[in-house]
Structure 1
Amino acid sequence: MNREKGGFEQLKTVLFWDIDGTLLNTKGAGRSAMEAAIADLIGDRTDLSALNMAGLTDWDICSRILEKCNLEPTAENIEQLEKLYIKHLPEMLLRCPGYVLGGVREILENLQQRTDVLSLVLTGNMEAGGRAKLAHYGLDSYFPLGAFSRRSRERVEIAQRAMILAEQQLGKLTPDRLYVIGDTPHDVRCGQAIGARAIAIASGHHGAEELRA
């Protein structure tokens, strides 16, 4: 914990932020990059418009895409698809008319000035992809730390790593000062898994009633 003037201990609030649908909307840049990646891999274009990717980890998304294309979702194949995806993502971010959600920059700027709040990324994006999105929209400076997708289909595992990361910075944390902010039921479950409160953003795929349930 930080100690303020006068010796009083200041309690930190930790905010774990999802990226897609919470901070920004790429307007399909990720999906387009995946379509280009699978085309590189199999030599033919695959339409992924029917695949619901909201809230899934990139590892899970790649696994499902490979299965859709009748390819074995081995670690080697998934990693190859991820590399191709990262190759195409910057171009697709430029092509697609994405945007930062309303109020996000102002909120992050305000939080950055405060000493009682720590903001971290908690996302299903692989780190290279998540960082590329944040940098493209000028949000990377607000999130020097974060937990990203690795070799897992489970968002809960990412949430647990995010919690460890926060405690490495601040020491032992109490659940009443932890918040997971996201736009899918997966994000809500992440909050439940680490004892945090969930702030659900009804910005796209999931409505307020579904998220509340």
Structure 2
Amino acid sequence: MCEVGGIGLPGDKIVDKETDGRIVLGPGLRKETEHVLMTKPGKLCFKDPNIYWVDSHHKRYIPVRGENVLGVVTNKSGDTFKVDIGGSEQASLSYLAFEGATKRNRPDVKIGDQVFCKLLVASKHTEPEVVCIDSSGKSNGLGVIRDGGMTITTPCNHIRKILSPDCVLLKTLGNSLPYEIAIGMNGKIWIKGRTTKETIALTNAIACAEYMNNEQISLMCRKLVNSLSGF
């Protein structure tokens, strides 16, 4: 048996919290008859109202519907692009899945371009499908990224740590160093600072924060800002 906050192994049963209504199972969990079992090793996590998932250290991405990912266009077949998102198979991206795209007004997408997109279809039985628009048909930050910057790869559990409301990394960096960033749940991060020097410093800070707590992250960010300022 594995309780919330504990470390479990594949096959372990989880201990449910007292929740109202049915629970939602995230990555690393599977329902079998009346029990919920872990399918991969890691830390059992819980989020209100009643969401469970397993946080584990891995680099191979398992597509999940609705998640934002960073991918690279690898091929074009008819009206569909193939995008490598780091999963077991490539995702498909229709040329109509861009803001304002029509049969006459096709998006300017080339092989090798990096795209920030959202998973529309993600199932172990079908090929993943991604789009560069939200539910209202707007790009809302999604699309092809060609504006310089740097892209780094980090374990998927580090992505979840960065995006956690408890993590101070992005807010602390943004207080002193303006930047643009696109974070993919598949372990890819694109970031651009005001200068090349700042961009490199930001990527190094994000990579180094993987094994730090908030106090250590705050100290690191202060040292980074001071070093860029010449102190």
Shorter-chain TM-score bucket reads under 0.3
**Could you state the TM-score of these two structures normalised by the residue count of structure 1?**
0.23
**Could you state the TM-score of these two structures normalised by the residue count of structure 2?**
0.21
Greater share of residues in strand: 2
Q: Which has the higher contact order (CA 8 A, sep 6+)?
A: 1
